[in-house]
Amino acid sequence: MAPAIPRAVAADGTELHLVPLPPTRLPRVQKRDLEQAWEAAHRAARAGAEGPRRGFRFAGGPDVVLRDRDARVWASSVDRIADLSTAHGVSVCLRLLGLVALLAQGGWAARFVRLDRGAAELDGALLGAAARTGLTDTGALDENALRAQLLPCHSEEQSPCRARS
């Protein structure tokens, strides 16, 4: 069993997860992990949940600080279901936040999301690819690798992940 990722509190009150490896070495996760994280994050947002100031300090850098209120809420929801004191939990969190950032750009990934009456459905192919795709040195999803997995052979057989807004 891997050792727990310790937490510390910075001078400004930010809760820091002291990850003893770089983001590129975090484990891949399962598609189901991201489905659960997506659903939990939407439930927390609908409930008006709050999240503490939070960040990740990686071995050799960088520090990733979640300044956005929504990102903090989403990270807190991942902490409840996947435990941010584990490399797996941190990996799920960064992948979820990476997906949200990618979707917010509204570019090529928009074709993998369907918005309908307050619901956001993510294509299962997108979630599966995000689970398999590596993270960059800055903790973001490797967009080029993700895109390469999806655009050549987008599969209609993958079931979407639904979340109501």
pLDDT (0 to 100) of residue 104? 85
**pLDDT higher than 70, residue 156:** no
User: Which tokens in the block code for residue 2?
Assistant: 């891997």
> Of how many residues is the chain composed?
165
CB 64 within 8 Å of CB 138: yes
- Alpha-carbon distances of 110 from 3, 10, 29, 57, 159, rounded to whole Å: 38, 37, 22, 31, 16
pLDDT band at residue 35, thresholds of 50, 70 and 90?
very high
User: Could you give the CA distance from residue 135 to residue 139 in angstroms, rounded to a whole number?
Assistant: 5
DSSP category for residue 157: S
Give kind and range of the element (H or E) at residue 131.
helix 124-132
What's the pLDDT tens digit per position in 3-31?
A: 799 999 989 999 999 999 999 999 999 99
For residues 28 and 42, what is the distance between their CA atoms, to the nearest angstrom?
A: 22
Distance CA 16, CA 29 (A): 22
Structure tokens at 12: 């400004």
Q: pLDDT digits over 74-107, tens only?
A: 999 999 999 999 999 999 999 999 998 988 887 8
